[in-house]
Every structure is written in structure tokens, then in C-alpha cells.
Amino acid sequence: MAHTHKPRIGITLGDLNGVGPEVVIKALADHRMVDVVTPVIYGSAKVISYYKKLLNIEEFNYTQVRSKGQFAPKSINVVNCWDDNLEISPGKASKEGGHAAFIALKQACEELKEGTIDALVTAPVDKQSIHSEEFPFSGHTEFLTQFFGATESLMFMVSDSLRVGLVTGHIPVKEIAASLTKEKIESKLKIMEQSLRKDFGISKPRIAVLGLNPHAGDGGLIGEEEEQIIKPIIADQKNRGKLVFGPFPADGFFASGSHAKYDAILAMYHDQGLIPFKSFAFEEGINFTAGLTVVRTSPDHGTGYNIAGKNQANEGSMRVAVYRAADIFSVRNEHSLAKQVSSG
């Protein structure tokens, strides 16, 4: 079935002591937002009211949701996820704040799984504050992958001009090389290509693969991962008609502007991909979890404790994350409908 309603975008507040509430309020204060989506904030009206007053933002009205799924389509909706009068201390990490972030995330995910909302945008959390027996994960991506029953997902950083996916994510640097197996790289490549097709509408995507070592191994002189693992994978992909190229030395690849020739780049580890991405697209780029049955995006920044509550946080990435979630949801539905028509 094609969806004719405005996408209902769930938005978690993240850590209530970080910049999450601020960037959510600022992004949604743009009245044009409700013309495109129906925003549903998961968190607390008390937290929203606190930051609205603290930041002196008058033009921000919302409706509290009284029954599940009963959203006002032309308003900002707020779902109260907890009853406790939690202490709000901008800039200070706390276990209470982390637990509240988890409660909101869990409720939003449950309602996303049920179809009550159409897509999810997550404001940043503090990994140490949220970490607990209930949340034994290194980040949102790992939690969402398990919650929605995926065997593998892809951390996919996306802007209008650049898309970067990661083979390895939140792991120590000393563990990266041992984690780069043939199966893992092939799995990430498959998720990336499928996502480019069904989530971004690119029928024949061109993908660049970065090497692990300096100079992409320099023919085996500086590490053997490129010769033994990465190059054979790329050769196999080409033999199967895929437009996959590399491995490229990361420094020269981005410095020369070669990234502009490709629809996406697969990086071997976190900082290899995120340093250039944030250099080119900070405050405009977003994080998208590819490979899930649902759509989830987030801004490409952290909790920003050092500026929390000071009215200094830039809401650009949060605004883009909301619009991008709606775009991906719509493209995914169009792709699914086209497949039904072609197979029917």
C-alpha cells in the first residue's frame, strides 16, 4: 500500500542534559516542518518546557499525546515516556539522564515496530550514562540492529554530496585489523548497495572502497589486508557486474576530490570515514542505519555537554535528519511499490 499521509517521524530527546532537547526544539520551531512531516517527540513535556524557557524560545507550541497513535497532524506531538520529576542539569552527565534516554528510545522503537510511527530520529546520548544491563551496547546502531532483528547493519553517514559507510564501528583501534574478514566486508558492501538502490533511488550505484593501511598497503609493503582480503573482494564484485572500485588510500582519495565521483564510500573503520565526512558535511550530514527493516537517522554530533543549555547548539543536522528520514521513508515505499507492480 502506498502511504498518502505525511510521514509520522518519531524523535527521541536523547540525553536530557545534553544538546538533544535544544536542537530538537530549534529544528521543530521552523513552522514549515509540520507541512512536511508529523513530528512526534518521545521524552517529556516537562523537559521541553524547561528548555523552551531556558533558551527563551517562544514560538514553539506542542500537543501532548493522550492515547497511543493519536497524533495531531498539524502540530508538534509530545509523548511523555516517564512520570518522574527528573533533575535537569545541562552539561552534567548522570545515570538518571541516561536511563530516561533509554526509556524514550525503547518506547519509540516499540511504536516504530508496531507501525504507530513511520521513521525514527534519535538525538544524541552519552554512551557512559546510558550504558547499563538494559543497554549493554556501544551506541544506538548496535541497539537498533538487535532490537529490529537484523543480523548486520551499516553505519551510513549521509549528506547531499557525500555518503560514507563503515565496515567496523565502535571498537578499539587495536581490534580493527582482526575484524576485517572477507565475510564482514562483503556483508557491508551488500547492505550499502541495497540501501543505495531502495533508500536513495540509485539504480546502478558506484562504490569506492578504502584501504586499511597507509597508501592502501603499498603493494603489501605496509600491511597485507589489501592484497589478501580487500582486492579479491573488489575483483569478485566486478566479475559480478558491480561498480565497486579500490582499494584507495584514504588521505589522497579525499584530498584530491575523488570522493565526488562515487555514490558512496566504504571505509574500513570509524575515524577513517568520519573525519573526512565531518570535515566536509558537519551540521549538514546525518547518520543513517542502513540494513534495517525500519528507517532511523540521527544528527552527526554528540551530546555537546560543554555547550548544553547555552543556546549555542546548531540545529542544522537535526533538521536535516528529520527531513532525510521522511525522504528515505518515501523512497523506500516507492521502491517497494515498484517491485510489487513489476512482479504482479
Q: Per-residue pLDDT tens for 82-127?
A: 987 889 999 999 999 999 999 999 999 999 999 999 999 999 999 9
CA–CA distance, 13 with 217 (Å, rounded to integer): 43
Query: What pLDDT does 284 receive?
Result: 86
Q: Which domains does the chain have, with CATH numbers?
A: 1-150+292-344 (3.40.718.10), 152-288 (3.40.718.10)
Beta carbons of 293 and 191 less than 8 angstroms apart = no
pTM value? 0.92
Q: Which residue has the higher pLDDT, 190 or 284?
A: 190
99 contact partners, CB below 8 Å, separation of at least 6: 130, 132
Query: What pLDDT does 344 receive?
Result: 59
DSSP sequence for 314-337? --HHHHHHHHHHHHHHHHHHHHHH
Q: Is the pLDDT of residue 341 over 70?
A: no
Query: What pLDDT does 114 receive?
Result: 97
Helices (H), 42-147: 45-54, 95-114, 127-130, 140-147
Mean pLDDT of all residues belonging to the chain: 94
Residues 201-257: pLDDT tens digits?
999 999 999 999 999 999 999 999 999 999 999 999 999 999 999 999 999 999 999
Give residue for cell 523512497. Answer: 331
CA–CA distance, 94 with 15 (Å, rounded to integer): 9
Query: What pLDDT does 335 receive?
Result: 76
CA–CA distance, 39 with 48 (Å, rounded to integer): 14
Percent of the chain whose predicted confidence (pLDDT) is above 90: 88
Query: What pLDDT does 3 receive?
Result: 45
CA–CA distance, 115 with 118 (Å, rounded to integer): 6
Q: Is the pLDDT of residue 180 over 50?
A: yes
Query: What pLDDT does 101 receive?
Result: 96
Query: What pLDDT does 85 receive?
Result: 84
Residues 291-324: pLDDT tens digits?
999 999 999 899 999 999 999 999 999 999 999 9
Beta carbons of 268 and 168 less than 8 angstroms apart = yes
Q: Is the pLDDT of residue 273 over 60?
A: yes
Query: What pLDDT does 343 receive?
Result: 63
Q: Is the pLDDT of residue 277 over 80?
A: yes
20 contact partners, CB below 8 Å, separation of at least 6: 12, 13, 14, 101, 123, 124, 125, 303
Beta carbons of 46 and 85 less than 8 angstroms apart = yes
Q: Is the pLDDT of residue 13 over 50?
A: yes
Query: What pLDDT does 2 receive?
Result: 40
Q: Is the pLDDT of residue 155 over 50?
A: yes
